[in-house]
């Protein structure tokens, strides 16, 4: 095991010496692994830094001598140079001098990261809006205020100026941004609507997965069942049901969801936790479905106050054809 000191360890773990006792976690990670404070903050926020075997809860956590620090991802070291890529196709549905709203397709990664150094949404944005290169504290995520998973399609906002980035990030932290989703899930939820209020954190067994855990970060997802699709014909109480037998050997339902918080994989983790995983989401136990090779999850509404004028803005995006076709098929 490496020992933390002024010399970076060769491996992604170590023990805090007396010399660094009392220092903030983000400063220690940046100092020891010779990365930027922004990169250290990113790793902590994404729960890729553990202290004494548990995901770190805060960048400002003070460390004690003997604490064990481990990283599940090597930090990006040195300056990050992002090259604009005009070949990345973007569906920009709104843009002014302060903010951009993008309708992201499935399978497009939002920003560079492990295994995705090129061809991201950020590279495409830099080709159209080069000024965003200086926006935000993290050079590999210029302008980015919030993210969508690679397999999730739909709406997200991007800041064009530092002031807009600060305002939008603050609104997100205050839970003043509306983020609505539609999902096709396995099973028929018992209640027509509800709130899944359960903390989410990184799985200790599977570091690429998130899970509901007592020491996770607070997370709340609101849901409403809009259509039930039983595998066999029969009467169901609640929202309207499909008149035909389902083409898949399981019950399914269409849900509309709203985020209070925005943890990694939050909707997917929460739905799996209540026994209704998203169709096509093999990472969290969702069954396969005809014609779709990704989670049947789409960010269909986005609402926020304009960062400069304060004017309320609201945007909608229809689900793409793979989800729409599956929904029609399930309804019969």
pLDDT in tens, 189-234: 999 999 999 999 988 787 678 999 998 999 999 999 999 999 854 4
**Nearest Cα to Cα of residue 269 among 163, 168, 198, 169:** 198
Which H or E run includes 184? strand 178-186
- Residue 139 confidence (pLDDT): 82
Chain mean position to CA 99: 20
pLDDT at 104: 98
Helices (H), the chain: 25-33, 37-45, 121-128, 162-173, 266-273, 321-331
Give, in words, the CATH class of 92-173. Answer: alpha beta
Enumerate the H helices of 143-265 as residue ranges: 162-173
Nearest to residue 241, comparing CAs of 300, 192, 193, 195? 192
pLDDT given for residue 281 in this prediction:
97
- How far is Cα 99 from Cα 112, in angstroms, rounded to an integer? 21
Is the CB of residue 272 less than 8 Å from the CB of residue 289? no
The Cα 112–Cα 45 span in angstroms is: 16
| Residue carrying the six token digits 């933390």 | 4
* CATH architecture of the domain covering 2-71: Roll (3.10)
Q: Residue ranges per domain, the chain?
A: 2-71, 92-173, 178-331
Q: What is the C-alpha separation between 226 and 256, in angstroms, rounded? A: 7
Nearest C-alpha neighbor of 297 from the set 314, 280, 276? 280
Based on C-alpha coordinates, what's the Rg of the chain?
21
CA dihedral 175, 176, 182, 183 (to 10 degrees): 0
Task: Report the alpha-carbon distance of residue 27 to residue 324 in Å, rounded.
Answer: 47
| pLDDT digit string, tens, across residues 249-279 | 899 999 999 999 999 999 999 999 999 999 9
pTM of the predicted protein model: 0.76
Judge residue 142's burial from the number of C-beta atoms within 10 Å of its C-beta, 0-12 exposed, 13-18 middle, 19 or more buried.
Answer: buried
- As a residue count, the chain comes to 332
- The residues that are catalytic are 149
Domains 92-173 and 178-331 share a fold: yes
What is the rounded CA–CA span in Å between residue 310 and residue 17? 49
Q: Residue 250's CB: how many other CB atoms inside 10 A?
A: 14
What is the average pLDDT value for the chain, to the nearest integer?
A: 88
Residue 6 pLDDT: 34
Instruction: Report residues of the chain scoring pLDDT below 50.
Output: 1-11, 233-238, 240, 242-245
CATH topology of domain 178-331: Pseudouridine synthase (3.30.2350)
310 backbone φψ class: left, alpha, beta (φ>0; ψ -120 to 50): left
């Amino acid at each position: 095991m490496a020992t933390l000191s002024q010399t970076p360890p060769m491996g992604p773990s170590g023990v805090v010496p007396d010399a660094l006792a009392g220092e903030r976690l983000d400063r220690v990670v940046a100092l020891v692994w010779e990365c930027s404070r922004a990169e250290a903050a990113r790793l902590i926020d994404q729960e890729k830094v553990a202290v004494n075997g548990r995901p770190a809860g805060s960048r400002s956590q003070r460390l004690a001598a003997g604490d064990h620090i481990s990283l599940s991802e090597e930090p990006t070291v040195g300056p990050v140079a992002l090259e604009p890529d005009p070949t990345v196709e973007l569906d920009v549905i709104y843009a002014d001098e302060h903010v951009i709203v993008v309708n992201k397709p499935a399978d497009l990664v939002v920003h560079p990261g492990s295994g995705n150094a090129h061809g991201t949404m950020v590279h495409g944005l830099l080709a159209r809006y080069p000024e965003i290169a200086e926006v935000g504290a993290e050079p590999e995520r210029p302008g980015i205020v919030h993210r969508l998973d690679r397999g999730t399609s739909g709406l997200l906002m991007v800041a064009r100026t530092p002031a807009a980035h600060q305002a939008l990030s603050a609104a997100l932290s205050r839970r003043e941004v509306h983020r609505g989703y539609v999902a096709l899930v396995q099973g028929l939820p018992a209640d027509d609507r509800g709130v899944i209020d359960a903390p989410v954190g990184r799985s200790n067994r599977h570091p690429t997965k998130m899970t509901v855990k007592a020491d996770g970060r607070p997370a709340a997802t609101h849901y409403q069942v809009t259509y039930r699709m039983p595998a066999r014909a029969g009467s169901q109480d609640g929202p309207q049901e499909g008149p035909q037998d389902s083409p898949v050997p399981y019950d399914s339902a269409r849900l509309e969801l709203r985020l209070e918080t925005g943890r990694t994989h939050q909707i997917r983790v929460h739905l799996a936790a209540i026994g209704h995983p998203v169709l096509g989401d093999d990472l969290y136990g969702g069954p396969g479905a005809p014609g779709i090779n990704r989670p049947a999850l789409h960010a269909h509404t986005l609402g926020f106050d304009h960062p400069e004028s304060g004017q309320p803005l609201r945007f909608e995006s229809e689900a793409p054809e793979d989800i729409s076709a599956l929904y029609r098929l399930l309804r019969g």
